Amino acid sequence: MANIRDRILAAQAVAGLAIALLWWLFTGMGEASSNNKAWSALWGAIAVVLPNALMAWGVARLFRGHPSAMVVGFMFWELIKIMLTVAILAAVAKWMPDLSWPALLVALIGCLKVNWLALLWRGRKKRDGH
């Protein structure tokens, strides 16, 4: 289980970096607005990857004995993940003067969609017998 978790986190980070790089490349490399869009996209990726990594770390350490304790622990880490995501987005909105919301949201959504791609890829791998 840890292997798939690490792969999904790595894929999310790579997707976020790729989206930030694409924003930087296609909006005029080196220009101030291009840099702001790339940084906005990078913060969108951070708002997904960092909370997911924290949740994965916390859930991996849950006591495996009592099922209801595991459910409560999972809900606790999910709440922490949501609160950290909101805190990152609020901090970026407050402290980044030229925030590009489209860039941030594209990166955020792109990183979130990596989960589905990983699950589809894993399902395809199982069906093929590899």
For residue range 76-91, what is the model confidence (pLDDT) as tens digits?
A: 999 999 999 999 999 9
Whether the Cβ atoms of residue 8 and residue 69 lie closer than 8 Å to each other: no
For residue 124, pLDDT beyond 60: yes
- How many CB atoms are closer than 10 A to CB 5? 17
Report the C-alpha gap between 101 and 64 in whole angstroms.
Answer: 41
Listed residue (41, 18, 38) closest to 30, CA to CA: 38
**Residue 62 identity:** L
Residue with tokens 């986190």: 9
Which pLDDT does position 100 carry in this prediction? 92
Tens digits of residue pLDDT in 37-92? 899 999 999 999 999 999 989 888 876 777 888 888 889 999 999 999 999 999 99
Residue with tokens 């402290």: 95
Listed residue (120, 130, 110, 121) closest to 42, CA to CA: 110
**Token pair belonging to 104:** 């941030």
**Residue 90 identity:** A
Report the C-alpha gap between 6 and 46 in whole angstroms.
Answer: 16
